Amino acid sequence: MARNGLCLPGNAPAFRATLVLSLLLLLQPIRAGHDYHDALRKSILFFEGQRSGKLPHDQRLKWRGDSALHDGSTAGVDLTGGYYDAGDNVKFGFPMAFTTTLLAWSIIDFGRVMGTEQRNAVKALRWGTDYLLKATAVPGVVFVQVGDPYSDHNCWERPEDMDTRRTVYKIDHNNPGSDVAGETAAALAAASIVFRSRDPAYSRLLLNRAVKVFEFADTHRGAYSSSLKNAVCPFYCDVNGFQDELLWGAAWLHKASRRRQYREYIVRNEVILRAGDTINEFGWDNKHAGINILISKEVLMGKSDYFESFKQNADGFICSVLPGLAHTQVQYSPGGLIFKPGGSNMQHVTSLSFLLLTYSNYLSHANKNVPCGMTSASRPSSNKLAKRQVDYILGDNPLRMSYMVGYGPRYPQRIHHRGSSLPSVQAHPARIGCKAGSRYFLSPNPNPNKLVGAVVGGPNSSDAFPDSRPYFQESEPTTYINAPLVGLLSYFAAHY
């Protein structure tokens, strides 16, 4: 139900920051510290609430049960497992792969400082990669979605009772999808780095699969929205094109495999695939800023002089996000939150903040700053902006509420999430049918099941938040809001 608002053109007109105000808010004294470690633990726990399939014995979020145990059967394959993307019960492969890539990146860059949460983060990642391995088990095919979104969104049902159509959607050489296949290759390659020392055999399996999926993505080029049409649009429509996912997949394969072919691919295709486009965005549809930050690390570490232009693009990204500069292209709410129109704004907040922080760390290792025209944006200011965004999420905002369920004294009570808003299968074992759930959707009461760690779409551009289920753009959590937040919280837990 939630995705339609997100399908904005990638190069929607850029918005000017409310410069002075956001700069003032950015420089406000830091409030009494947050318990970042508590927030980190919760941000990972959230993924257990989004699990599809048979739940393991060590499942900690107890109100959920097994669900969708026959996914894939209509196509003669096993597609059980994986994650529901948000507050519905569809398994959308494109955002699931992006979520998996970002969880892996969070662990690669910040796993060392996660402490006791590292194990849980790796489990959350593996829940994603186990599914992506199933979805790519048939050569030349990627199963990219399970669940008819119209049938699903027509009901307000617990995943455990689901009786909507679990249609299986795939791409192949006749119906290509370089976007979703490229992102899936990126996820598998990134995860192979995480498992390299933890589980070498699994890591090799992931990397080999990533190589094959990327080859398929690159050989049979096209957008999955053109192949699958209204099965994926307007939900997770590829508006931004598939070129970025090809570069993104190659960048992760380069990092994971160190094979020369991927370096050459990146250099050869940098201009053709438009590496420097729409630099101030990063999300499930648009990878441009992420590509440039990821590849710049090598330039900054002195490992490669092939990629200098990516570093320039990455600098351009920083200058476009930091408020108060001549280059600023990102809008801020009066309370200081990054704001992009289109709904589920927190996805932009966490993913852009993640890039601000990672790049700041890469710069810091190289002892470099970012030139932004006449001014130079210092490393500390991008680090501080990322922290400011995280602190806003955790409660330093005009409403003095946390946007993470279960964190702090005030947080969203009526999130747009079927499982959380309906009585649990333990409390109410009898089935609740498609339309029987409507009265829970419309109820003014708080949700009975706490989806601990869920971060919702968040306030509107004037920092107002309705805390109401029907306002899905504000009250729905998604997996790709949390995936980069895991990395951010790990860093701030370790450093503050």
| Residue positions annotated with a catalytic role | 416, 467, 476
Q: Which is nearer to ligand NAG, 51 or 469 (CB)?
A: 469
Q: Which is nearer to ligand NAG, 314 or 456 (CB)?
A: 456
Q: Which is nearer to ligand NAG, 20 or 464 (CB)?
A: 464
Q: Work out whether 460 is an interface residue with ligand NAG (CB under 6 A).
A: yes
CA–CA separation, 213 vs 196, rounded Å?
19
Applying CB under 6 A, the span of 100-108, 144-152, 259-267, 460-468 interacting with ligand NAG comes to: 460-468
CB 97 within 8 A of CB 183: yes
CA count, 13 A, side-chain hemisphere, 174: 1
What are the two backbone dihedrals, phi and then psi, of residue 371, each rounded to the nearest 5 degrees? -80, 125
CB of residue 462 vs ligand NAG: minimum separation in angstroms?
Answer: 4
The site map against ligand NAG for 416-455 (x = CB under 6 A) is: ----------------------------------------
Q: Work out whether 12 is an interface residue with ligand NAG (CB under 6 A).
A: no
Q: Which residues are CB-neighbours of 58 under 8 A, at least 6 positions away?
A: none
CB of residue 461 vs ligand NAG: minimum separation in angstroms?
Answer: 5
CB 183 within 8 A of CB 108: no
CB of residue 322 vs ligand NAG: minimum separation in angstroms?
Answer: 23
Applying CB under 6 A, the span of 143-151, 234-242, 321-329, 456-464 interacting with ligand NAG comes to: 456-464
CA–CA separation, 99 vs 481, rounded Å?
8
CB 10 within 8 A of CB 240: yes
CA–CA separation, 275 vs 278, rounded Å?
9
Applying CB under 6 A, the span of 234-242, 259-267, 286-294, 462-470 interacting with ligand NAG comes to: 462-470
What are the two backbone dihedrals, phi and then psi, of residue 455, each rounded to the nearest 5 degrees? -105, 125
Q: Which is nearer to ligand NAG, 269 or 461 (CB)?
A: 461
- CA nearest neighbour of 295 among 261, 329, 303: 303
CB 279 within 8 A of CB 292: yes
Q: Work out whether 462 is an interface residue with ligand NAG (CB under 6 A).
A: yes
Of residues 101-120, which lie at the interface with ligand NAG (CB under 6 A)? none
Q: Work out whether 309 is an interface residue with ligand NAG (CB under 6 A).
A: no
Q: Which is nearer to ligand NAG, 309 or 413 (CB)?
A: 413
CA–CA separation, 485 vs 482, rounded Å?
5
CA–CA separation, 275 vs 269, rounded Å?
8
Q: Which helix (H) or strand (E) holds 339?
A: strand 338-339
Burial class (CB in 10 A: 0-12, 13-18, 19+), 118: middle
Indicate which single residue of 139, 428, 464, 496 sits in contact with ligand NAG (rule: CB under 6 A): 464
Q: Which is nearer to ligand NAG, 65 or 466 (CB)?
A: 466
Q: Cβ–Cβ contacts within 10 Å for residue 141, how many?
A: 18
Q: Which residues are CB-neighbours of 95 under 8 A, at least 6 positions away?
A: 85, 236, 284, 478, 479, 480
Q: Work out whether 272 is an interface residue with ligand NAG (CB under 6 A).
A: no
Q: Which helix (H) or strand (E) holds 50?
A: none
Residue nearest to ligand NAG (CB): 464
CA–CA separation, 32 vs 477, rounded Å?
26
Q: Which is nearer to ligand NAG, 309 or 460 (CB)?
A: 460
CB of residue 458 vs ligand NAG: minimum separation in angstroms?
Answer: 11
Owner of token pair 């440039």: 292
Indicate which single residue of 118, 175, 369, 461 sits in contact with ligand NAG (rule: CB under 6 A): 461
Applying CB under 6 A, the span of 41-49, 385-393, 423-431, 461-469 interacting with ligand NAG comes to: 461-469
Residue ranges that bind ligand NAG, judged by CB under 6 A = 460-462, 464, 466
